[in-house]
A = this chain, B = another copy of it.
Amino acid sequence: MSAGTDRRESSAASDLLSAEDLRARLLAVGHERYHHKHPFHLLMHEGKLTRHQLQAWALNRYYYQSIIPIKDSIILSRSGDPEFRRAWRKRILDHDGAEGEPGGIEKWIRLAEATGLEADSVTAGRGILPAVRYAVDAYLDLVRERSFLEAVASSLTELFSRDLISLRIGALRQHYPWLESGLMYFTARLSQAPEDAAFALDWVTRHACTREQQDAAIAALSAKCDILWAQLDAIYYAYVQPGWPPPGALPAEAS
């Protein structure tokens, strides 16, 4: 079925998911694969991570944060629709900030500093796990090389981030009070992420006009969940489970 087939004329129209069913399928992907279930997050929320493990998380996750505006600029660059671009560009402002108004990246650096890292060493990217780099770079490949619909759909992990972040803010305050000065990243995301997710979900629902496109959107969300999950795997195994960071990565804590 070609991308241009109108749903009402398609012989496979009976296969098309309703907007509600598509939404339910997307939510089911998040339920199964979003990183809220990752053991690293479970340990974090139970207060069982050391400061060093939180450092490793803040350092590695910074690499992800740092490419988000690049990812969103790629998506912007692929849209020919000024209305879409006006809605989407907000994400770039949210992450890059403005004069006197720190964006998400700067807030993440504050979080990394609260764990005890130097801002310079974080932004220099020294000691980031290669596996984290590969996963994050795979996200850039996805939004660059897959269909525009899939690029947009991959952002739908934000449907699930509000619940995770509210849980996290409480848990971090309770178990790691010394992180307090670094929490503004999360408080900002509490309102930003649901707004962005609502726009993207509406857009995907309206533009996935064939069952193939709907399936591609679901698969793109699943692929994005893999990318988030793989980052935590790399951090968990290098710094939590007795393991070994590869040569050149932030060393394990001296015991």
Give chain A's interface residues, CB within 8 Å of chain B: 32-33, 39, 130-131, 133-135, 137-138, 141, 222, 225-227, 229-230, 233-234, 237, 241, 243-244, 246-248
Contacts and interface: CB of A to CB of B under 8 A. Distances in A.
Nearest to A237: B237
Contacts of A133: 138
Interface of A is mostly: helix
Most buried by B among A134, A135, A229, A241: A134
How many copies the complex holds: the figure is 2
B141 A229 contact: no
Contacts of A244: 39
B229 A237 contact: no
Given A141-B137, A237-B243, A241-B243, A131 B230 contact: yes
Given A130-B135, A141-B137, A244-B39, A233 B234 contact: yes
Contacts of A233: 131, 234, 237, 246
Contacts of A137: 134, 137-138, 141
A144 to B, nearest CB: 11
A32 B246 CA distance: 10
A177 to B, nearest CB: 31
B130 A230 contact: yes
A134 B246 contact: no
